Amino acid sequence: MTALTLVREQIMTCERCPRLRSYCQRIGREKRRAYRSDTYWARPVPGFGDPAARLLVVGLAPAAHGANRTGRVFTADGVGGSGDFLMSALHRAG
């Protein structure tokens, strides 16, 4: 198991913040109407991307109906969401 795989597993099973875990699980049960039929991830969200990247972007918890719903940071908010904003800003910065 690689170090990054181990970190990913540790993130996904983390219970160090009971209040945040409880919130994410509650959001996963109470869902927005638009996502009512979706199965929510409802647990800590690991990162993704090139392990040799020169830049690390860290998101803030809890990403209620984005990452908490899909299990993937910055990519689940739809058109005009945080992912679009982030990718546009990174592109403008070169």
Q: Is the pLDDT of residue 76 over 80?
A: no
13 or 85: which carries more pLDDT confidence? 13
Rounded to an integer, the average pLDDT of 62-86 is 83
Whether the model pTM is above 0.85: no
Rounded to an integer, the average pLDDT of 9-31 is 95
At residue 82's C-alpha, the angle toward residues 59 and 30, to 5°, is 80
Rounded to an integer, the average pLDDT of 52-79 is 83
Q: How confident is the model at residue 14 (pLDDT cuts 50, 70, 90)?
A: very high
Whether the ω angle into residue 44 lies within 30 degrees of 0, i.e. cis, is no
Enclosing domain of residue 56: 3-93
Count of structural domains within the chain: 1
Percentage of residues in the chain having pLDDT higher than 70: 97
Q: CA 60 to CA 48: how far, in whole Å?
A: 15
CATH number of the domain bearing residue 18: 3.40.470.10
Is residue 24 within 8 Å of residue 45, measured between CB atoms? no
SS3 45: coil
